[in-house]
Amino acid sequence: MASKVMSEPLHDESETRLIRAATAGDPEAFGRLVLMYQDRLVNSLFHLLGNQAEAEDVAQEAFVLAFLKLATFRGQSQFYTWLFRIARNLSVSRFRRARKTASLDAVESGGSQLLLSDEPAPDRQLLVEEAGTRVREALARLSEEHRAILILRELDELDYDAIAAALELPVGTVRSRLHRARLQLKAELEALETVTGSGTREKRTS
């Protein structure tokens, strides 16, 4: 997975100018907005969906929808949180469609991992040996709403107000949900470490 330098966001005034121009029908201005936020959005979607191709598809659709709905953007929240909200709604729709078409076994094995199903099945031992991969694995095991709130807080580093706007939640709910998400992630990481420990022991004895 290639790491890329994230696009530096322009200051608010430039962003506002671009949004105005794009709303007036200037696709070049909207193209610049896409360039500003594409890496950030794809990165968040990648961790939300667990698959880069899916992340790119959803990001593309989200940008197109954002352009078509741009007249409804009132500037009461950050452009990125508005964009993320569109992208997340698309992700949830895809997730529901995937769940409908998935086999019963896949559904029973945990809905939050369904969108990771088209990735090659990695060797579990190799997966848990790398700390970053283990965190990704733990993140993928969370419910979608817990994963989304952690991504917004820890990866996008949004404050509670912005998270509340992106997820359409009261700020009080953001605080409690964020805490539950952290505890759930901690439990998943501990469970993976237990698997690693027992796997390592099995390897040593064989």
Partner 1 sequence: MNLESRNNEPPNPEAQELLSALLDDQLTSEQAAELRAQLERQPKLRELLTQLEGQRAQLRQLPRVGAGSDLASRVLAEIRERSVVVELPKATEEETGPRGGWRSVYLLAGSLAAVLLLGLFLWPRNVAEQATQVAQTDAQVRRKELDARQRERECGPRQRSHGTDLPSPSVHEA
Q: How far, in Å, CA of 193 to CA of 142, rounded?
A: 16
CB 163 within 8 A of CB 174: yes
Tell me the site size for partner 1, rule CB under 8 A.
Answer: 46
Inter-axis angle of helices 131-141 and 171-205, nearest 10: 130
φ, ψ of residue 50 in degrees (nearest 5)? 80, 15
Looking at 13, 108, 132, 204, which residue binds partner 1 (CB under 8 A)?
132
Asked if residue 97 binds partner 1 (CB under 8 A), the reply is no
Asked if residue 178 binds partner 1 (CB under 8 A), the reply is yes
Which region, judged by CB under 8 A, interacts with partner 1, from 13-21, 25-33, 83-91, 115-123? 25-33
Asked if residue 48 binds partner 1 (CB under 8 A), the reply is no
Looking at 47, 88, 141, 146, which residue binds partner 1 (CB under 8 A)?
47
Among 83, 90, 93, which residue's Cα sits nearest to residue 156? 83
Which region, judged by CB under 8 A, interacts with partner 1, from 56-64, 71-79, 111-119, 196-204? 56-64
Asked if residue 191 binds partner 1 (CB under 8 A), the reply is no
CB 88 within 8 A of CB 148: yes
Asked if residue 24 binds partner 1 (CB under 8 A), the reply is no
Among 58, 85, 197, which residue's Cα sits nearest to residue 134? 197
Asked if residue 160 binds partner 1 (CB under 8 A), the reply is yes
Q: How far, in Å, CA of 13 to CA of 182, rounded?
A: 35
Asked if residue 164 binds partner 1 (CB under 8 A), the reply is no
CB 9 within 8 A of CB 36: yes
Shortest spacing between CB 56 and partner 1, in angstroms: 6
Give me 48's structure tokens. 């939300």
Whichever of 161 and 202 has its CB closer to partner 1, that residue is: 161
Asked if residue 81 binds partner 1 (CB under 8 A), the reply is no
Q: How far, in Å, CA of 203 to CA of 182, rounded?
A: 31
Where along the sequence are the contacts to partner 1 (CB under 8 A)? 1-6, 27, 30-31, 34-35, 38-39, 41-43, 46-47, 52, 55-56, 59-60, 63-64, 67-68, 131-132, 135-136, 139, 150, 153-155, 160, 175-176, 178-179, 182-183, 185-186, 189
